[in-house]
Structures are given as C-alpha cells and as structure tokens.
Structure 1
C-alpha cells in the first residue's frame, strides 16, 4: 500500500517507509518528523506507513494533537496469519534464530498483542472522527487491488483515476536473500529511483526478463524452512482472538470479517 501511494504523483511518501514518530521517536519533535518527507512538484498530501502506530496506545492522541485533520488508514489481515508472518519476519530480520512458531510465540508476546484489533482500533476511533479513519482488509485488497487503490486515493483526496503501474507486484513476501549483499545493492538502486520520482519506471524494470529472473533466483522462501503452526496452536489462537473479533465486527458493523469465510470453508 505504501508503494502504491508513492507511485501517485500527488502523494509524497516518507523516507524511510516506517518513520515511527508517534510511537518510538516522538521526543525528536515535529521538525524531525516533517524532515522525512520530500515535496515534489505536484505533491498535495503526504503518506507514511508505520505499523507501530496501530498498537502503541500513545500514538492516536499524539497524532491528533499534531494535526486534527490527519486521515488514518488501518490495514488488517487474519490475526492468526499475521502472528505467523510476524514470526517469519523476526527470523528474516535476524532478531531471533530460526525456530518453530510455537517457540517464537512463547518467547514473544507481541505476536498476540499486535493482533488485538478491536482494542487498538478503538483508540483511533476515540481520537479521530469516524470519517477520518478507514479500515481495509488485505484479503479484500488481494481480490481487487485496483479498486482498493482507487479507494485509498479518494480517501487521501487525490485523483482516484490514477492507474498505478505496481498494482500487481508482490510485496512483503516471506523470503530471505541467498546473497544479502545483492539484495541490499538492488534495493539501494530502487530507493534511488523512487527518490527521483521514477517508481513507475522501476516497476516496469523489475518485470523485464533478466531483472525478474535475478530477483527470483535470489529469493529463498522461508516458509520452506519453518514448519507451519500446529493445529493445537491454531485452535488456541482462534479462541484467544475470538472476543476481539466479535468486538471488531460490532465496531465495523459487519456480520463477517474477510477471514471468517475462509475458515468456514476450510472447516466444511
């Protein structure tokens, strides 16, 4: 979503993507925060993506005090899959040694804490008017990424008809690099192109045969190295998250959440 926003000529994105100002670096001041955004010739709004804001209880009121007209976009996914993805992310980043999800879960309570969606989202609805908070679901975005992009652009107040060239790229895959130095170099080159406002050209370049083959050859799917969670663990997490999901349905006035249908289908 951050990359799609950044491809829009009227949106200026932060560098880096996750500034974490309203959570971890609030003591550095507004000028430090604003220094992470570069204004382009047609920039109308600014966009950043810091997942820590969602679960940090201090972030909503800090953000509202900074600018009460901020718009908040919350992107949710199946909390059980999110927890497992969290575990893979910690391994990929080198924060923990490769281990089973059960061992990681025992070691890191954040796997569960960050999935308490109703608790965290409630604080944002308390701080901001409801029309300034938009909740989206990864499962629905994957069905129609174009419609999701138009929705985000309209919510941000920019041209919703803009056709982002990177709508069909896969992002944030759970993989590690065979050659970390190669990935670091390629990403540095990509970041430079983005800073020059060349995100669309970068997207096309990554789809060319040689570049696409190189990127694919340097990937190792970490899911092939870490076993899936056990059925008992899945059942325990389902029970743990159940009250939160009930509250979330009520909060969003939905009979079902996107992952409910998937679980019903797999159980039948």
Structure 2
C-alpha cells in the first residue's frame, strides 16, 4: 500500500492507535542515544534520512520529529518512549552487526525552545546532539517561504514579516521559559531573523548538556562533501564507519541567489556579522558562507 494515498483521517487514527500501544509497551522500548536538534531549514531532513539508512540505527516510529521536549512535554516519558523501537529490535541489530543499535529523532525546534535543553539533559543524560547551520540569510528567507507554503504565515512579503517579528516575539521567550505549559505560535513559526543567531542557542544548549555532547555541521559542507561529513557525524556518535554508506545527492556549494531584495539581504548580512563571528569557536573556522 502506498501510504501517501491513505486519507489523512485514517492516518490520524492509525497513528493514535500506534502511540497508545507504544505507551503501553514503553518499558520494552529504547530511548534515543542522539537527537537532531536543529536548526530549522538547515538540511535536518537530509541528515535524518542519511542516518536512518545506517545499518545499526533504528529510527523513530511514524515520524522523524516527535517534538516531545518542546511542545509535548506534558505527555510524559512513557508517551515519548512509545515512539521508538523495542529492545528486541535492537537485539536483532546487535546479533547481525555485533554492535549496539542506536535510535534517534529529529525535532529542529528543540534548538530554540527555552526549556528544551534542560529537559533533554534531565531525561536523556547521555544523549548527543547534532546541530546543522546554514547561511542565516538564506535560512531566514527559506523559512518564510516554508511557513507561507504550510499556511502558518499570512504575511506574504518577507520584508514585512521581518518587520513584524519583534512584535510577534515580544516577551515570548520569557513566557516560554517561565511557564512549562505555555505555547507560542509566533515563537515557533515566525522567528525568521532570530533563528539564524546560532551561537547564542548553542551556548544555552552547552550550559545544560555540555559542549562535548554537541556536534555542529555546516549544511553547505554536508551537501558538497556528504561522505566526509557523514563519517565525521558517525564518529561523533560512535557509529561504525566501516559499513556501507547511503547514497548521497550532491548539491552546489553556494546556495542559488534568491530573489530577495538586495537591501534586505544587506541588512541581514550586517545583522548576522557578530553572530557568525561567535560561531567560529564552534566550527573552528570561518563559516562557509563568510568565506570569499
């Protein structure tokens, strides 16, 4: 059966039933050994697919992103564990390959939600975190197009959406940090400029989980040299690198010039200058998009 042709209401019923069963069997299920935490519109789906193809990696059931540590934390750990494979499945992987299986999920909003890092540190104390970064100017423009396409953004003009951002985000991070049950649609979907300030979010994550548990990947490097980047990620995660790699698609090193207004591009480039400088300490070099 082609699942893409299954009506949405039927999919929802199936997913609900699977999650309910997963919750009941939570003690028999794995917990993630690593997470893809962000950033949004930075190639997380591509990295998720590549790692899902690794012979000793078992991906989350149903969805690549569970969104537990950001918007579903009140559901509890049994609900979360219900999204992952069983230890029996992991045993089969160990029997076949001689190494322990790992499981993971990818929820890019984890990087930005004020409470996510502390929750991850408390509930997954040994988990490693993967973060992808991308030219923040192009990332912001891509996110706006994405939110418009999904119907989450009614302001079709990118410049106007940027102008609205301060009002939309006013005190939202403070409210999210203070109230575990608070949800902000604007913070999740309309933070175009803020999302590219990578270093400040990485700093917060490091305070909670430790810098040694965070690996940062430039999406431009992943797309142009996927084999090396993939091997570096596998080494960080403790995954065998002597097993067959997935098939990779190669992309241009530089993003295509979008039809963004030159004035907006220039303003954003200036805005991100100090944030890009702060990112050098994480990458060990000047970001690709800042290189001549």
Aligned residue in 1 for 2:153: 96
SS of 1:142's equivalent in the other structure is: helix
Conservation of the 8 A alpha-carbon contact between 1:101 and 1:228 = no
Which among 157, 160, 165 is matched to residue 241 of structure 2? Answer: 160
Q: Distance in 2 between matches of 1:114 and 1:162?
A: 35
Q: 2:223·2:250 contact (CA, 8 Å) conserved in 1? A: no
Of the three residues 48, 53, 63, the one matched with 2:120 is 63
- 2:265 pairs with one of 215, 219, 234: 234
Length-normalised TM-score, structure 1: 0.71
Match of 1:247 in 2: 278
Q: What is the TM-score normalised by the length of structure 2?
A: 0.65
Secondary structure of the 1:106 match is: helix
Pick aligned residue for 2:85 from 38, 41, 66:
38
* 1:7 Cα offset (Å): 0.8
Residue number in structure 2 paired with 1:132: 213
Moved more, 62-71 or 127-136: 127-136
Asked if the contact 1:2–1:49 (Cα under 8 Å) also holds between the matched residues in 2, the reply is yes
Q: Over aligned residue pairs, what C-alpha RMSD do you find?
A: 2.1
Q: Aligned to 1:38, what secondary structure does the other structure show?
A: coil
Query: Aligned pair count?
Result: 206
Q: Which runs of 5+ in 2 are unaligned?
A: 1-46, 94-99, 166-189
| Distance in 2 (alpha carbons) for counterparts of 1:248 and 1:56 | 19
- SS of residue in 2 equivalent to 1:110: coil
Q: Distance in 2 between matches of 1:255 and 1:96?
A: 35
Residue in 2 aligned with 1:122? 203
Work out the CA distance in 2 between the residues paired with 1:253 and 1:153: 17
